[in-house]
Structure formats: structure tokens, C-alpha cells
Structure 1
Amino acid sequence: MASETESPAEGVLIGDEATPVDWADRPEATDEIFAQVSQVQTVINHIHGNIGGASFGISGSHKSRRTSGPVSQHEMAEALTCYVRHDSYRAAAERLESGNMVALIGNAGTGRRTAALNLLHDFVGTRCDVVELSPANTLEQLAAREVWKAPAYLLCDWPRDDVDGSIADFHVREIRRRVREAGAYLVITGTATSLPEREQIRWLSPPARDVLRAHGVAPEVADQAAAQITPDHAMADVVTLARDLASGGPLDTALSKLESAGRRDVVAWFEGPRTRGELFEMAAMAFTAGLTEGRFESLLARLESIAGIGVETADPVSADDPMPSRRLLRVAEGSLLRLSSGRRLKFKVEGHRTHVMRELYRRHGMRLWDPVSEWLHECAALRDPSAQAEIARGVAILASVSDYSYVESTFLTPWAKGSGVMRSQATAAMAISWLCLDETTRSEVLRTVGMWTRASAARPKFTATLAWSGELGIRFPQEATRMLWLQIKDSDKPVRPAEIALAQLFTALTEATGNALPMLDLLVHRISNDRRIGRAIDPLIRAILSVLTAQEDGVGIPTVTVHLRNRRDSATPLAKLWSVVLVKRPHRREALAALYNAVCAFDERADGDRDCVRALFAALVAALPAKERPLLAHDLRRYAISRNTDENRLEILLSLLRVFLSPAVLSLDTIGMRPCTTP
């Protein structure tokens, strides 16, 4: 296995102090690694709606995946439905009323976020425009924040700052003063905080029976159901149960769904007599579930070799010795495992993967985890995208049941800094995407990747670039855009990975949320305020072009086309970005090609699509200098003819080009009408 991870022929070798420009010589390697991270993001997008406790054993809130910015009205409405105001809630309300801020400190899955939204709604009522702040803010940064324009602010899953108590007290007084002077309210949630004790409310979830009754469940049914609810069940599980019962579903059926989030079968398996071979096999499954049976056995064999299992003794092995049917035993009656289509090994219940990881970590020490850790380091550096993706998911699950700092120091940062072929960096970035699904680790991950971004060495910086292009960027689009932009702006050499990451982020945001406006607006602001001229601004222009030419999987419909269909109001920022590139003569042809491809990807027969194109061209008229419009019309006409454009599309393009010569035609319904032969 060592030869697989050290062969320079299979990848790109970069020294610890090398710079990202080294990757410019091997763009195919960079593309391959970004494609790996993108594939994991596609999986996350596909299952996100159902991830909940089934994958991580945490609250499965279906809120917007953006973790900063305005809270959607849909999420507010969901939070307010049938909410139970209990003792912890009333104590928090009193604290918020007296000081304009309060921190709800408790375990994940206890309904802290929903409580925070209800508190803010209670205090600001119909003018409730809740803005969620990024957990990347430190206590000092929050105290220095001058703008508190919204009436209500939410700061979820805020990690503890390592600050002295007296300094924390000073910062808190400053935060409260600014919030109160603005007439605003701030609610913070977390599992631990640097805030003084008097600012905290020890948060406990509402009694399960009260939640069931609030949803209209009959008293006797609520009593029976509440008796089956344990502390392992997240508040989201209780709400789901309540809705199932309130809709008339049978109690047994509803409870069977609840039981799938439990760990009874897993605990029973571990409490039985288990051999070292069985334990290491279960550990391998916890990290590689979903691989084909053959690939799993290959990886398991390496783990058993590291653990010293099956080492031959001096005694000869007879051909007549019995050989158990291991494959059959692995998926036999009473096993936790099953074979799916394509002979892929999986857990019978998806949630069992989390519970197996928890029991392994809780019951076993270094005799198990030292060999497993060594094995994971080898697996992370394999040239095996499927295995790397599952290892990344497994490590994220381990963080959810153990301690994030242990996972970060043992796996994530060593992989980000890894030597040899740049493969463990991809595994670390994929793990970051999975960790973003867990509310208990999301803010910690944000700070870790921020630290990698600011590193002087190329390897952690490159890993951060990969991470920003995935789920982390979807959760924190402005932070991701700002960090990637700074990488490009502050480098005196080409930073192709950051350009690719910006394009990937634009596509990821569009696919996952349908809204990349925070990213586009920030790019417009940054490029508009940059005073560089000539070739000095070329890196930023290339970065803008990477966004305008982005495509799903590199070959699909242009992302700008998809985004304009979702959000027609994005025509203005997109046009501003295009105008910046179009006026740069060395980049005009690339910008024209991107504009042509985006327009031709619309359906000329659909009224909605034609309106999108009209909006884009109208925005371009407003964004471009007047002297540039006829030049652009001429160049775009020549480019369209050179592409052998079919007659229908050429008609539309030529009619739109009239806009650049006479913007007044925007008021006429000329789209699709036969125009003059020359613009």
C-alpha cells in the first residue's frame, strides 16, 4: 500500500513550502481532485433532504443550507408552528427582555435554534427580519461590529473563544450596548461559550409529552409515545413523531420510525461476545460502508494486517483446516450488515453507522484505535475516489460522536498538510463537506479551514481552496468568496485552484440553493472597488471569467443560465461582471463566448427564457459604457456567425444586438421578431 501513496507517476508532488503555481504545470491533476470533491457534493445535495439523524444522529432540520444572512420566512413559519414555551424558554425570554441578548447553551438536537427564532419573533413581532450572523465571528469581532440595522439577530452554534474572563466581560458589555442602542435583539446558541455565566441560560428541550400534545395528539397516545422517547432522540425526531400521530398514523408505525434513530440493535451486538476480528471488521465498515464487497475486503485485509490479525504462526496450515464462510456470516440473520445492489456492503439501517461509531469510540481504546488510525492515514492517500469519499464520511461521523478537536488534530490537519502525492488533501476537503451537515461541528470546521487558508505552506492552503468550493461554501458563501478572492488578489502568481473553486462554488450554490446572489454581489463589489490597471488586474479578470463560464460537471448547461432561470434579479450583478470583462480587449473573446453560450442555452420558444435573456441584455446596456455598446454589437454578431448559429437563434441574437445601438427598443416586444440584417 505504501507504493500506492508514494509513486510520483500517479500524481503531483509538491514540497511543503511550494506555491500553488506548481499546479499550473499539471492542470489535469487539479481537475481530477476538484472533480472528486464535486462528486461528494453531488451526493450531499441528493440526500440532504433526508439526511437528518439517519446519517449523523443529529437534528435533521430542513432549514436553508446557508448559515449566514436573512432567515427565510419558510423557516420562521416552521419554527413558530405548535411551539411549546416551557421553563427554559421563559427564563431565556426574561433575560432577553432585560438585556437585549441571551445565550442558549445546551446539547445539540434540543431545539435551541427553534427556540431562538421564537424568542426573536416574540420580541419583534411582525417586523421580524431575522439576520443570522456567521459563527466565524470571534467575541472581539462581534464587539467591534458597528452595524446593527436589523431588529433581530441570530448566532447559532457559536464555538468557545479562548479569551480571559475579564476581557470576555468587557466585550459582552460592548456588544449589549451596541445592540440595545440599535433597538435590536441578539440570541446566541451553542454547546459552550466564552460568555459570562450571567449571560447564559442552561437550555433543556421541552418535555416530549408537551410537544406531542401541542401538535394535537390525544392525551393517552401522547403518554404512550412519550414513554418511548429517550435522550438519544433529537427534538426534530419528536416533532416528526408528533406530526405522524397528529395526522392519524398508527402508534406502532410512528414508533417504528422513531426506533430507527435508536441504537438498540447496535448496543445488543456489542454486548455479545466479540472476537478481535469481528471488532476490526465492524470498525472497517464504520468507515467504508457503501463500497463493493470486494473492495471492502481488500481494505479490511490491510487493517487486519496492521492490527496483527491472521498472522501465520510457525505451525504449518493444513489444507484440511476448516475455512468459515465469512461472506455469508457477515450478512447472516441477526447481523447489522446487508448486501445491496451491485454487491455493496451497507448497514441494514443507515443510522446504525453512527451508533456503531459511537460504541467503538466509547468501548475501545488504543488497542483498536491506534491500528485504525494508521489504516485511515493510508486509505486517505489512496488513488481510490470511492474509498476516499467513504473514509471522509466516516471521519465526519466519528467527529459527531467523539470530540472534534481529536478528529481535527489526528486526521484533518495532518491530511491537509500531507506529504507525497496530493490525495489526502482531497479526503480532508471531502470530510469538511460532511462535517458541515452537523450543527455541532460546523462552526469549528469554519475556523479550521480559515486557519488553513491563512497558512504559508501550499498544501493546507490548497486543501482550504477545495473545502471552500463545497458544502462549506454553500453554508458560508460570503466567507468562501472573500477567502478565495483574497487568494487570487494577494498572489503575484496564477492561482488556478482558487479560480476553479470560485466556479465550483457558483455551480454548487446554484444547484443546492438556487441562489448565488450573495456571492455575485460580493464579486461585483470587490472588482468594482479594485483600482488595478493593465495586466495587474488580469488574475481577477480570469477569476470572474471562471464564474461566467462555469458549467455543471464541466459539460452541462452554463451555470449562469440556470441561475438566471431561478433568479431573474441576478441579471444585474451578472451583467456588471460581464461588462468588467468585456471592456478588457485581451479577454473579450472569452467573455463573448461565455455570453453566447449562456444565451443560446435558453429555449427561444419559452416566454420565461426569452424574458431572462431580455433582462440580461437590458442590464448589460446599463452596465456597459456607451462607447462600448456598438463595438460589442459588432463583435458579438461576428462571433455568432462564426459559430454557424442556426437561423432561429441568430434572429434572436441579432434582434437583441439592436439594444446596444438603441436602448430604447427595450420597450418594444422585438425578441424573436425578424430584425434588420445588420445591427
Structure 2
Amino acid sequence: MPEHEGPAESSGPRLSDPEDARRVVTGSATANADGAVAGEQSPRATVPEESPEAAGHEASEDAPALAPIPVGESGSDQDQDEHGYGEFRKVIHQVVNNHFHDRVDAGGSVFGVGTASRLGLTPGLVDLAEVDKALEFYMPPQPHFSSAQERLTSRNVVSLVGQDGTGRRAAAFALLREVLGGHAQIRSLSPATSLAELADSSAVKPGHGYVILDYVGDVQSAGVQEFEMRRLSSQLRKSGSFLVVTSSEQAIRLQSLKSFCVRWSAPDPSELFNHCLKESPDTTYDPERLDELRALVSTLRRPDDVVAVARTLAERGLEHSLESLRSGERARVHAWFRDPTRSAEDTLTVAALAFAEGLPERTFEKVLFGLTLAVRNWEHTMVGATVEAAVPALPELRIEQSRSRWSVTTTGLIEARRDYSTSDDQIRVERCVFFVSPRIRELVLEQLNELYGLQLWQPLRQWLTHLSQNGDLQLRTEIAAGLALLARYALAEVEENHLDVWSAGYVSQRVTAALTVQFMSADPQLASHALNLALQWADKRGPVRAVTAAMALVGLGRPYQFESLNWLWYLSARGERVAWAARSSLYLLLAAAEDDERSASLTLRYVRTRMETAREPREQSRAATAAMLMLSGPSLDGSSPLAAGLLRNSSPVAGPLGRLWARLLLSNRRRAALDALCTTLSALRDEPDLSHTVRSLGGSMQEAMTERQWKALRRDLLHLLSHPDYAEDETQRLARFMLGLLRDRS
């Protein structure tokens, strides 16, 4: 192999890409001007400098040791982790292709005529047109709004403290509009942003508005948090900018920060509805029918739901609005659970389906039997009997037509139909059991949580734990989807009894916990809670939970991409087991964004900047290892190299991809980078439409090299392409086109 130029000629980050030079404020406000994130500290800044974690060694683990590995999960820790990531990758591929999305994305108003707002959920600049739309029917709840406006005006920062679903998000944008006017830019920051980091950052721009939605809190004491809040207030006042934070009482020290906080509660639904009527186009309605609608609206708890009714009234009329509230899905589920003829078997059927939807009938029957058995065993425990107690004589044999009973006793809730998306062989397609709509599944979980106690939920917990250990991947994915929906109504139940326990459990449980966090991250109401949970696992909770956190951060990469990148990079500096998981997650984060040019480009730029700013040999090695996995790994479906898929789906990604490749080609991973480049070109050889994209890839590499380095690359690449594995004429022609040796491929 000819001699090549090493990385010595590099003098730090090249700012040839304008995006590299912009300050990223969408994450934890720790980005420097190059897009790099300084230091190897935990993004929470809670790991002491002398901590063995910070030195790359695992600290002693507080979590209990793993129990004996069940059948099918034997092997070393590495074997288990590889198996878990293999399962997780399969589900990521299914979610990206919407195999599960339609059944788990059940967001919306409680009566099914609206959708949950995602305004400001993803960190970054907020579309002002979206703000206008969200505030179309906004009514400032008094006296909360006036108190918050007074604090924001005088201190430049205010925190709205209250429960989810009380209108805090809309209030945050309404307050910023009041103090800044309707044309000032508003940027949403990550809910994990540290007050100290924000106060220290020079990224606060004059005359801007900032929001932190569903703030997850700092770990400092009350006195430290108050000090940082006052520093932040001073910084914002100097720049003429304003910040509104929405949080729960658990996330913010309300007593020590009371001068910055306002307790928030939802406006009266009747008052809000009357306000919406005044803001709507003038229409005459039957007074008695309108009063009937008002009575139904008065039972709604969320401002979003009240506004959705007003919009439906304006767009579709009074009768449709009444029908939606009177006999919609919520009313149907509510009436079903309160039917006095409803049997325990019926309740267990819908309870099992809430966590096991979409399974073939024969599989669902086994799952349902397991839940029924768990309930009966719990009843024995409650009355003091043991499992070994004598079994009474069997009654007269009777075989129940259980499948037909479902269609009778659960009419309007459950249906069995053939799911042709599960197999290409239509003869083998089985009937599967579903709720009649995604919304029904969520409403069933709401009613189960609202109406039933220990007699149902304790055996349900045991049943779910058993399935998380032994269920197949499809079943455990449905369990994760069900838990994510349940978290809307019982977050503590989901976190404490399932996710936190499973995050340090068997590999099957850890995958299920990570999938639950992924589904929660797609819900605007739960995304910040999901992020906080993953960060708790990542930060000094031991290597097992850290591996689970790394997996969960892949799903969090869509709403909180920069935050996920920061934490995965932090985890990649820990012990080898955690570092391997972090590198695998960085690769999956890129693979999941194969069709998303913006996200893919940001991930590639982030890793390249990390390579360019690495100074210590160990840091350089881990950066190169992570980058190499990204460029040599397969796409999610395994059909081609990931790099080839990125180039097929988006030509603009060729720039950041080529610059990252150039960094590797100038490192001690040169041979592996050359092999990956040849494999990618071979995968693209039959796609002439990509000629200019490939040339752009080569051009970005050339820009990042000296003339001598570029000539060395030409020699090495053409030499390697003479190998029989790459000796196809089209591959060699494509390589020459990339290197600028051919003008076109005709």
C-alpha cells in the first residue's frame, strides 16, 4: 500500500460547512462554535473529576446483580448485549417502516376529534405560524397568567408549575408573545438543559424568546438551584431575552424558587368553551342543543380537548360535535366498563389485549390464559390458600366458544381480522385480535387504571414481568406500546414497577424497557419524562442500566437528537461493555435517520467534529471506532451498506458523509475506511442516477484533504478496487467518477 498522509496536517475543525460553525442551542447548551461538545463530563455534570466512571472504568454498581439467566439467554454479557441490540434493531426497522406506528400513536383528544399538540417538543426554532395556530382560541387563565406575565417582565424568566394537560405549553408561548410581540424568534430548548449551563452560555441571543417544556430538573440543592436561577435571570435581562419554563413540582424547588414560579391550573372548561364561541365565526345554533353541548364540554379536563370541540363545532356543525361527545369512543368504553352484566372474563380479555394487541388468536388465547391463571393464583394468596392446595373435582366438561364470545361481549371494542401485513404468504395469514381503533386501546387502559385496584393490578404486574422475561419479540413490543399508553395515566406505576426494575434485568426485559421509552418519546405528553428516565439510568446507576440507557437514547434521538448524541458520547468513554453499547446506539441513531437528511447530517457532523477535536490517543481511538461503525455498518434492513442507503435517499448528505470519511482516511483506520468505501461503491454500481451524488461525495473528501493526500487516496482506492471482490467494471467506473477521473458514466 503506498504511503499516505496522516492526520498531522489537520489543524482542528474545518468550518467549510456553515452548519458546523453555528452554535447549537437545541441540546444542553454545551456546544462550542464548531458544533463540538466540550469535555468528557456527564452532560448532567454530576460525575466528579476523580470518579472512576470519568476515567473510563466502571464504578461499583448499586443495582442488584442479575438473576440467573433464563433458558435462551445464556452466554456472556457481550453475547446478551449483542442479542438485545439485534432485537432492538429489528423493532427500530419496523417502527421506521410504520409497522407499529399506526397502533401505538393513539394521541389525540379524549373524544377523538383532535390531536395532541407537538408545538415546541423538538428543540430548535419554533415555527411562528404554528404558534399562531396553537393560540387561535387561547384564553389566558386568571390570575395565573397575569402573575406569570408580571414575573416574566420583571425577572425575564418564569416557571409555570403544574400537572400535565393544564395548558402550560400554550401559556408559555402566549407569555412570550405578550412580552416580545408576534414576530420575535422563539427557540425551544431541551428539557434536560441545566440552568447553570444556560447561565454560563453566550448562546442567549438578544431579543429572543426561549422555552423549556416539561423541564426535568437539575440535581443541585435548593440553594444552588436558586443561585443559578438568579444568575440566569441576570443574563437574560442583559440580553433583553426571556425564558419560560414549564415543570412539575418534582422537577423544580418550588419553595426556594417561589419568586420565579407560578402555580398553574387548567381554565374552567365552560369559560374556555364560551371564549372559543366568541372567537369563532358568527353562527346561530339551537339554544337547547348548544346548552346540551356545553354540559358535555364541562366534563372535559384538558384545554386541548375543549378547543378541539370548538373547532369541530365551527367546521362540522353542532350535531357532529354532540355525537362525538355523546356516543364517541370515550363514551363507548365508559359505558362498557360500567355495564353490570360485564363478567370478570370480559375484563381480563380487554386487559390482556391492552398489552398484547395484534397477536394471532391462538397466541392471544395462551397469553390471556396466563393472565387468568395469575389472577386466580393471586386470589388464592389473598384467602390464604397455596398453589399446592387440593384441586376440587372438575365440573361437567364444557367447551366454551370463546372466540365467538369475544365478538359478542366486547362489541364495539375488539375485532378479529386477518392481518395481511404480517406475511407474504396469504394462505398462512391468521386472524389476529385488535381493538377496533388505536384510541380504544388507550381508553381501555385509562379505565383499568381508574376503576380497578390491587386485585387486578398486582397479578397484571406479575403477568407482565413473566412475559417480559419469556415473551417473543412481537409480544414484548406490544407490551412496551401498552406501557407507554398506560404511562399517560399512571407514570409512577410504569416507571417504578416495570421500567426501573427491567432496566437492570434480563436482556429481554432491558429491550422491553428501552422500547417503552422509545414509544413514550413519540408522545408530547411523555417525551420529557422518557428522556429523564433514560438519563437516570445512564448516570451512575451501573453498567447494566447504562447499556439499557444507551439503547433507549436511540428512540429519544428524534425529539432530542443533540441531547442523545451528547449522552451517547459520554457513555462511549466508560467501560468497554457500556462503550460498545453506546457506539452501537450511535450507529442505530444514524441508521434510523436514513430517510431524514437533516438528522443524518447532524449526526455525521457531530461525530466528525468529535474526531477533529480529540487530542488524547484514547479519545481519538473511540471517535474513530464510532465513525468506522457508522460507515461500515449495514442499513436497518440489512440489504446494503448504511452509507449507500444514505446516498440513495438524500444527495445533500454526501457532503457531511464525505468529510467524515476523509477524517477516517487520514487516521490509522485508513484500510478499514477504504474497504467500507469500496463496499459502498459496489452497492451503488447499478444506479447511474447517483453519479452526481457520488461525485459530490468525492468532492467533499477532496476539500478536506491536501493535494498530496488526495493523490494518495486515488492510488490506494484504485489499487484496492483491483481485488476480485470489487473488480466489476461499473464499480471501477463509479470510483473513477467519484475521484474526478471521469466526467460522466456514459
Q: Please, what TM-score do these two structures have when normalized by structure 1?
A: 0.83
Q: Distance in 1 between matches of 2:212 and 2:284?
A: 36
Deviation per residue, 1:39-95 (Å, 9 max, x gap): 356548843996422799998446479632333456445435565556455554444
Find the counterpart in structure 2 of residue 79 from structure 1.
Answer: 134
> 1:414 and 2:501 equivalent?
yes
> 1:329 and 2:414 equivalent?
no
Deviation of 1:487 after TM superposition, in Å, equals 2.4
The one of 230, 234, 239 equivalent to 1:173 is 230
Q: What does 1:595-674 correspond to in 2, within 5 Å?
A: 597=680, 601=684, 606=689, 609-642=690-723, 643-644=725-726, 650-658=732-740, 671-672=743-744
Find the counterpart in structure 2 of residue 425 from structure 1.
Answer: 510
The one of 296, 316, 341 equivalent to 2:393 is 316
When residues 204 and 173 of structure 1 are mapped into structure 2, their CA distance, relative to the original with a 3 A threshold, is same
- Is contact 1:68-1:133 (8 Å) kept? yes
Q: Distance in 2 between matches of 1:197 and 1:277?
A: 51
Q: Which moved more, 1:79-88 or 1:267-276?
A: 79-88
The one of 232, 243, 258 equivalent to 1:186 is 243
Deviation of 1:546 after TM superposition, in Å, equals 1.9
When residues 114 and 301 of structure 1 are mapped into structure 2, their CA distance, relative to the original with a 3 A threshold, is same
Residue identity in the other structure for 1:521: R
Q: Secondary structure at the match of 2:204?
A: coil
Deviation of 1:166 after TM superposition, in Å, equals 4.9
Q: What does 1:7-406 correspond to in 2, within 5 Å?
A: 10-13=72-75, 22-23=77-78, 27=82, 30-40=85-95, 42-43=97-98, 46-47=101-102, 51-53=106-108, 60-61=115-116, 63=118, 67-72=122-127, 75-76=130-131, 78-79=133-134, 81=136, 83=138, 87=142, 89=145, 91-125=147-181, 128-145=184-201, 147-149=203-205, 151-159=208-216, 166-192=223-249, 193-195=252-254, 196-198=257-259, 199-200=261-262, 202-205=264-267, 207-216=272-281, 218=283, 220=285, 223=290, 226-232=294-300, 234-247=302-315, 249-257=316-324, 263-273=330-340, 274-308=342-376, 314-319=391-396, 321-332=397-408, 335=411, 336-341=413-418, 342-402=430-490, 404-406=491-493
Q: Distance in 2 between matches of 1:239 and 1:591?
A: 58
- Is contact 2:186-2:211 (8 Å) kept? yes
Deviation per residue, 1:373-422 (Å, 9 max, x gap): 111110111240111011111222222112x2332121101111114xx2
- Is contact 2:538-2:549 (8 Å) kept? yes
Deviation of 1:480 after TM superposition, in Å, equals 1.5
Q: Distance in 1 between matches of 2:328 and 2:212?
A: 28
Deviation per residue, 1:425-457 (Å, 9 max, x gap): 111111111222333432232222112123463
Find the counterpart in structure 2 of residue 664 from structure 1.
Answer: none
Find the counterpart in structure 2 of residue 480 from structure 1.
Answer: 564
* Unpaired segments ≥5 residues, structure 1: 15-21, 660-669, 675-679
Residue identity in the other structure for 1:574: L
Deviation of 1:637 after TM superposition, in Å, equals 2.6
Q: Secondary structure at the match of 2:434?
A: strand
Find the counterpart in structure 2 of residue 438 from structure 1.
Answer: 523
Q: Which moved more, 1:611-620 or 1:182-191?
A: 611-620
Q: Distance in 2 between matches of 1:389 and 1:343?
A: 19
- Could you tell me the percent identity over the aligned residues? 25
Q: Distance in 2 between matches of 1:493 and 1:285?
A: 36
Q: Secondary structure at the match of 2:160?
A: strand
When residues 499 and 245 of structure 1 are mapped into structure 2, their CA distance, relative to the original with a 3 A threshold, is same
Q: Distance in 2 between matches of 1:180 and 1:568?
A: 43
Find the counterpart in structure 2 of residue 516 from structure 1.
Answer: 600
Q: Please, what TM-score do these two structures have when normalized by structure 2?
A: 0.76
- Is contact 1:68-1:475 (8 Å) kept? yes
Q: Secondary structure at the match of 1:473?
A: coil
When residues 134 and 545 of structure 1 are mapped into structure 2, their CA distance, relative to the original with a 3 A threshold, is same
Q: Distance in 1 between matches of 2:303 and 2:695?
A: 47
- Is contact 2:95-2:101 (8 Å) kept? no
Q: Secondary structure at the match of 2:740?
A: helix
Residue identity in the other structure for 1:624: M
Q: Distance in 2 between matches of 1:556 and 1:181?
A: 55
Q: Distance in 2 between matches of 1:31 and 1:80?
A: 44
Q: Distance in 1 between matches of 2:95 and 2:124?
A: 25
Q: Which moved more, 1:383-392 or 1:222-231?
A: 222-231
Residue identity in the other structure for 2:616: R
Q: Secondary structure at the match of 1:474?
A: coil
Deviation per residue, 1:142-186 (Å, 9 max, x gap): 555554226111100124667665554433322211111121110
Find the counterpart in structure 2 of residue 548 from structure 1.
Answer: 631
Q: Which moved more, 1:409-418 or 1:583-592?
A: 583-592
Q: Distance in 1 between matches of 2:681 and 2:492?
A: 45
When residues 239 and 430 of structure 1 are mapped into structure 2, their CA distance, relative to the original with a 3 A threshold, is same
Residue identity in the other structure for 1:302: G
Deviation per residue, 1:589-609 (Å, 9 max, x gap): 444534762696498654xx5
Find the counterpart in structure 1 of residue 21 from structure 2.
Answer: none
* Unpaired segments ≥5 residues, structure 2: 1-66, 381-388, 419-429
Q: Distance in 2 between matches of 1:217 and 1:47?
A: 37
Find the counterpart in structure 1 of residue 664 from structure 2.
Answer: 581
Residue identity in the other structure for 1:339: A
Q: Distance in 1 between matches of 2:450 and 2:75?
A: 38
Tell me: higher relative CO, structure 1 or 2? Use CA pairs within 8 A at least 6 residues apart: 2
Q: Distance in 2 between matches of 1:392 and 1:364?
A: 21
Deviation of 1:204 after TM superposition, in Å, equals 2.8
Find the counterpart in structure 2 of residue 528 from structure 1.
Answer: 612
Deviation of 1:243 after TM superposition, in Å, equals 4.5
Deviation of 1:111 after TM superposition, in Å, equals 3.8
Residue identity in the other structure for 1:214: E
Q: Secondary structure at the match of 2:593?
A: helix
Deviation per residue, 1:451-499 (Å, 9 max, x gap): 21234633212211211122x1222112211222222234357943322
Q: Distance in 2 between matches of 1:623 and 1:169?
A: 47
Q: How many aligned residue pairs are there? A: 644
Deviation per residue, 1:609-632 (Å, 9 max, x gap): 555434332221121233210111
More helix by share: 1
- Is contact 1:392-1:427 (8 Å) kept? yes
